[in-house]
Amino acid sequence: MSADMTPPSRWSRLRDFFFRPSTMSVTAVVGIGMLSGLLLWSGFNTGMDATNTLGFCVSCHEMRDTVLQEYKETVHYKNRSGVRAACADCHVPKDWAHKFLRKIQASSELYGKFVTASIDTPEKFEDKRMEMAQRVWATMKANDSQECRNCHSWEAMDPHKQTTRARKKMEPAQKEGKTCIDCHKGIAHLLPSEYTEDEE
């Protein structure tokens, strides 16, 4: 068989298909669409990550002057091991779908805050503290304190290294199927003045 009679290879047929004038415009549109989608997705994820930083969370005075100051006094901010749990670690789910839903919810909260100015003074903030805390507690109760469990788990706890008081509370709590927020309210922020343990 002569050299000019060799059948075209699979790759050359594929190349010829994609680079035919009739196919090139479709290929270009698909390529541009894929590239645009990739850029939009990357930008969106970068934006979501940027809104998970401590700096972003405390960029408004309501957070900077209240909850940040309270948080700085807790073990989640400064401790012997140097591990810090920032705002997003406790308030934003890790998995993408739930994180996205939480960001939508947070956007509506920001809109309400700026439009209604409902917490723009320390007095207004304190008036709303119980309402805001109850909303967070309800979310944490509903998802079995998932954000806490990203770092803390029953399996990793060593009761022998806990104080006697902690062990007496933790062991029955585990048996009863309690979740972190059932007992650990006011860990990173002050409890509302109206809060009483009778509400449990």
Instruction: Give tens-digit pLDDT for 75-103.
Output: 999 999 999 999 999 999 998 889 989 98
Q: What percent of the chain has pLDDT over 70?
A: 90
Same domain, 36 and 83: no
pLDDT, tens digit, for every residue of 6-51?
777 777 777 776 666 666 677 777 888 899 999 999 998 898 889 9
Same domain, 96 and 126: yes
The answer as to whether 160 is a domain residue is yes
Long-range interactions of 163-170: CB distance < 8 A, separation 24+? none
Residue numbers of the domain that contains 27 = 9-50
Q: Choose among 139, 143, 131, 141: nearest CA to 183.
A: 141
Same domain, 130 and 194: yes
Q: CA neighbours within 13 Å on the CB side: how many for 8?
A: 8
Cβ atoms of residues 101 and 61 within 8 Å: no
The answer as to whether 83 is a domain residue is yes
The pLDDT-based confidence of 182 (bands split at 50, 70, 90) is: very high
Q: Choose among 70, 73, 66: nearest CA to 121.
A: 66
The answer as to whether 109 is a domain residue is yes
Over residues 115-133, mean pLDDT? 89
Same domain, 38 and 103: no
Q: What is the average pLDDT value for the chain, to the nearest integer? A: 87
Look at the block and give the residue holding tokens 């705002």: 87
Q: Is the pLDDT of residue 112 over 70?
A: no
Same domain, 185 and 91: yes
Whole-number pLDDT of residue 118? 83
Whole-number pLDDT of residue 199? 53
Terminal C-alpha separation, the chain:
89
Over residues 56-65, mean pLDDT? 90
Residue 147, number of CB atoms within 10 A of its CB: 21
The answer as to whether 60 is a domain residue is yes
How many domains does the chain divide into? 2
Same domain, 164 and 186: yes
The answer as to whether 2 is a domain residue is no
The pLDDT-based confidence of 131 (bands split at 50, 70, 90) is: very high
What does the alpha-carbon distance between residue 178 and residue 173 come to, in Å, rounded to a whole number?
5
What does the alpha-carbon distance between residue 76 and residue 118 come to, in Å, rounded to a whole number?
28
Name, in order, each residue with C-beta under 8 angstroms of 144's C-beta and a sequence gap of 6 or more. 179
Same domain, 30 and 64: no
Whole-number pLDDT of residue 48? 87
Q: Tell me, what amino acid is at 110? A: L
The answer as to whether 3 is a domain residue is no
Same domain, 68 and 155: yes
Same domain, 174 and 88: yes
The pLDDT-based confidence of 198 (bands split at 50, 70, 90) is: low
Alpha helical stretches, state H, 75-191: 87-91, 96-116, 122-142, 146-149, 164-175, 180-183
Same domain, 121 and 137: yes
Same domain, 152 and 76: yes
Same domain, 112 and 168: yes
Over residues 170-195, mean pLDDT? 92
Q: Which two tokens stand for residue 156?
A: 């990793």
